Chain A
Amino acid sequence: MSASVYADYRVQPRKRSPFGSMVLMLFLLVVAVFMLVPMVYMVVNAFKPIDELLLFPPRFYVMRPTLQNFTDLVLAASATVVPFSRYIFNSTYITVMVVGVTILIGSMAGYALSNKHKFPGQGAFFTVVVSAMMFAPEVTTIPRYLIVNGLHMIDTYWALIIPPLAAPYAVFLMKQFIDGIPTELLEAARIDGANQWTLFWKIIMPGAQSAWATLAITSFIGTWNDAFGPLVFTRREVMRTLPLAIFTIGGGVARLGALSAALLLMTAPPIIIYTLLQARVLESMTYSGIKS
């Protein structure tokens, strides 16, 4: 009985009908088109000359691609108070800081809360962290604003860097993955005389590679695209980031070209970074057979 079932299983993967897998592939492709169309349109728009942007009836694709919009963006923005490059700098600086520090303190906390440590209050703290994942940070906006204001951090980079570091999901994600790293590895290293800090860098961080690669991407997206933080914590235009720049540039037919270029410039970095990291994420994912 069991032998025949086993034999069946062996045949199973080949038994899938070619028709069925074609329908499946077709479905996946339709979804892919739905996902792609808005982004393709954004790219295409960035290279449309102004008359094509204003064409009626509207046309999806571009006939005479041009870089005019990008030069317009630089000019249009320098006509306003803040040059566009300032928004790019602000966004880049803040994102790099937040992602770096989030990975560091998130991994450290994840390690502390993992099954590799045991101390009073550990479980309770993790429960609080998990509960904090269950509501949006927007809930805390008003007191956060009051605290940031009280620390005289309004209109500084600190206001945009420090509050997002309280990211419970970072700790949660790291803890979950670090739990799966075999304790024997740590024991062996500890016998060799390694201290906790060395263990953290030599065993935990390499072992949890796929987790923090994932965390890097999520944290990058969250910070780069966040519009709520800059809106609440900054007043002066020079301190604001790209998502709000879109609103500043937008408005008026004359700026449509510049806006299209800005949208592309703003959307491209996270996609490029993900594409670069994707190989590492997938690679580390296949290597993460550490669970068993």
Chain B
Amino acid sequence: MATAGQVIQAGAGVQPAPGRLAQWWAAVRAGKTGYLFLAPFAIVFFLFTVLPVLTALGLSFTYYNMLQPPHWIGLVNYRNLFLEDNTFLIGVKNTFFFAVIAGPATFAASFLLAWLINMQRARKALTLIYYAPSLTSAVAMSLIFSYFLSGDRYGLLNDLLMRLGVINEPYQFLKNVKSIMPSIILVQLWMGLGNGFLVNLAGLNAVDRNLYEAAAMDGIRTKLQEMWYITLPMMKPQLLFNAVNAIVTSFNVFWISAALVGFPSPQYAGHTIVGVLYDHAFIRFELGYASAVAVVLFLFTLGLNRIVFRLLSTKGDY
């Protein structure tokens, strides 16, 4: 008995493998049901997310047109992307512009509205109204928005502005290079608010009521103080979830642009990274090049989210 213990201890010192391996194997066997429950998702996840990410990474160093096998060209795709391809750089610029405005705006507004609505009586009706746009399709609603913003004689907004005497002739909201991105952002704000809003509402409901009374004892007086010192820290999981979603959605923008201003858009003013990706992958069949675009998109979003994670996890550690 004692000898066995000594052997394991000694073994752990000199040659850690067997003892640890046995321990690990025991833990694996003990966790059998866990693996079984995880398996269905894990298989699909590996096949359609993990493997594709790795494949995209590999393909991005090749020339591949689906007809011939891919052949290695090193960093050529990346060099071309950043040094030669103006459309890609426009796509990057537009996507960042979009993300910088639409991302934080949806994030903040979805919290603020949930917080304000949570104190109202007409909560149910307002919740439905605010959430409903998120239920709609980007393709369908972009078309409806194009009726509002259209620069021809049927544009409702132009009609209204002309009646009010603000402008004399229709403004080309969807064709003018200056107003294309703002139009896309408007539609995104309209559509993107609801998801985070609902998550926040659920989070607000889950905050323990007793905390507010306890805080009142500690001298918290105003609703704003309550929000800052209790609600926000307590809602960290929801806020993190929403921040990540806001970033992913922002970098994912494609359909609103395609349906609202067309694909490709006038002077590429509404071109986005996903648009570039689609263009090269499924119109030109330059899959290696398109994979490089995907990898860049991947790194952008992942990097930004890492930053957000760090920011939000230091905040709220009260």
- A163 at interface (Cβ–Cβ under 8 A)? yes
* A35 contacts across to B, CB distance below 8 A: 129-130, 132-133, 190, 193
Q: Measured between alpha carbons, how far is A214 from B131 in the docked complex, in Å?
A: 12
Residues 128-143 of A, flagged 1 when their CB comes within 8 A of B and 0 if not, give 1101111111111111
Chain B binder among A55-63, A67-75, A76-84: A55-63
Please state if A166 and B44 are interface contacts (CB–CB under 8 Å): yes
Near B by CB (< 8 A), chain A positions 100-115 give 104-106, 108-109, 111-113
Q: When the two chains form their complex, are residues B206 and A25 in contact, meaning their CB atoms are under 8 A apart?
A: no
Residue pair A109, B217 in contact (C-beta under 8 Å) = no
Q: Is A88 an interface residue (CB 8 A)?
A: no
Q: A143-B52, A292-B208 are in contact. Are A135 and B202 (CB under 8 A)?
A: no
Which residues of B from 136 to 154 have beta carbons under 8 Å from A?
A: 136-141, 143-145, 147-148, 153-154
Q: Is the CB of B55 within 8 A of A143?
A: yes
Min C-beta distance of B316 to chain A, whole Å: 16
Please state if A166 and B48 are interface contacts (CB–CB under 8 Å): yes
CA of A199 to CA of B133 in the docked complex: distance in angstroms? 37
Cβ of A142 and Cβ of B135 under 8 Å apart?
no
Q: A146-B55, A274-B135 are in contact. Are A266 and B213 (CB under 8 A)?
A: no
> Known: A60-B156, A106-B41. Contact between A140 and B137, CB under 8 A?
no
CA–CA, A140 to B44, complex, Å? 13
What's the interface size class on B, roughly? 35 or more
Name, among A24, A45, A58, A214, the residue most crowded by chain B CB atoms within 10 Å (CB to CB).
A58
What chain A residues lie within 8 Å of B305 (beta carbons)?
A: 134-135
Whole-angstrom CA separation of A163 from B50 in the bound complex: 12
Query: Which residues on the B side are within 8 Å of A224 (C-beta)?
Result: 137
Given the interface pairs A221-B135, A227-B137, the reply to whether A166 lies near B47 with Cβ below 8 Å is yes
The answer to whether A194 has its CB under 8 Å from any CB of chain B is: no
Pairwise interchain contact B294-A125, C-beta atoms closer than 8 A? no
Question: Provided the pairs A227-B255, A246-B139 are in contact, do residues A32 and B129 lie with their beta carbons within 8 angstroms?
Answer: yes
- A179 and B59 alpha carbons, distance in the complex (Å): 39
Return the CB mask of A243-260 against B: 1 if under 8 Å, else 0: 100110010000000010
* Any B CB within 8 A of the CB of A185: no
Closest to B117 in A: A28
Segment touching A, from B2-10, B73-81, B295-303 = B295-303
Question: A228 an interface residue at 8 Å Cβ cutoff?
Answer: yes
Inter-subunit contact B248/A25 (CB<8 Å): no
- Of the candidates B24, B32, B138, B245, which one forms a contact with A227 in the assembled complex, judged by CB atoms under 8 Å apart? B138
Query: B290 an interface residue at 8 Å Cβ cutoff?
Result: yes
Describe A's contact surface by its main secondary structure.
helix
* B40, A108: Cβ atoms closer than 8 Å: yes
CB of B286 to closest CB in A, whole Å: 10
Tell me if B33 is interfacial: C-beta within 8 Å of chain A.
yes
Contact B255 A117 (CB under 8 A): no
Tell me which residues across on chain B come within 8 A of A8, comparing CB atoms: 216, 221
Q: A9-B213, A136-B301 are in contact. Are A144 and B37 (CB under 8 A)?
A: no
In contact, A270 and B217 (Cβ under 8 angstroms): no
Once the chains bind, are A105 and B44 in contact (CB under 8 Å)? yes
Q: Give the number of residue pairs across the A-B interface with Cβ within 8 Å.
A: 288
Which range contains the number of A residues in contact with the other chain? 35 or more
**Contact partner of B34 among A106, A122, A227, A266, CB < 8 A?**
A122
Q: Does chain A have a CB within 8 A of B184? A: no
- Find B128's partner among A2, A140, A278, A286 (CB 8 Å cutoff): A278
Quick one: which of B128, B144, B287 has the most chain A CB within 10 A? B144
Given A39-B132, A210-B202, A285-B202, CB of A228 within 8 Å of CB of B148: no
CA distance A145 to B280 in the complex (A): 14
**A243 with B137: CB separation less than 8 A:** yes
Residue interface mask A163-179, B partner, CB < 8 A = 1: 10110110111001000
Q: Is residue A19 within 8 Å, beta carbon to beta carbon, of the partner chain?
A: no
The distance in angstroms between the C-alpha atoms of A162 and B49, with both chains bound, is 12
Contact in complex: A288, B205 (CB < 8 Å): yes
Instruction: Let me know if A263 and B34 touch, CB within 8 A.
Output: no
B198 touches A58 (CB 8 A): no
CB-CB under 8 A from A137, the residues of chain B are: 49
| Segment 200-228 of B: residues with Cβ below 8 Å from A | 201-202, 205-206, 208, 210, 213, 216-219, 221
By the criterion CB–CB under 8 Å, are A196 and B244 in contact? no
The 10 closest A-B pairs by CB, nearest first: A119-B31, A9-B216, A143-B52, A140-B52, A143-B55, A109-B41, A112-B37, A136-B252, A225-B137, A134-B305
Chain A residues at the B interface, C-beta cutoff of 8 Å: 2, 5-6, 8-9, 12, 24-25, 27-28, 31-32, 34-36, 38-39, 41-42, 45, 54, 56-58, 60, 104-106, 108-109, 111-113, 117-120, 122, 125, 128-129, 131-147, 162-163, 165-166, 168-169, 171-173, 176, 196, 200, 210, 214, 217-218, 221, 224-225, 227-228, 231-232, 242-243, 246-247, 250, 259, 263, 266-267, 270-271, 274-275, 278, 282, 285-286, 288-289, 291-292
19 A-B pairs in the complex with CB atoms less than 8 angstroms apart = A9-B213, A31-B130, A57-B159, A109-B42, A122-B31, A134-B247, A136-B252, A138-B254, A143-B53, A163-B48, A218-B195, A221-B135, A225-B138, A242-B137, A243-B140, A246-B143, A266-B137, A267-B135, A288-B206
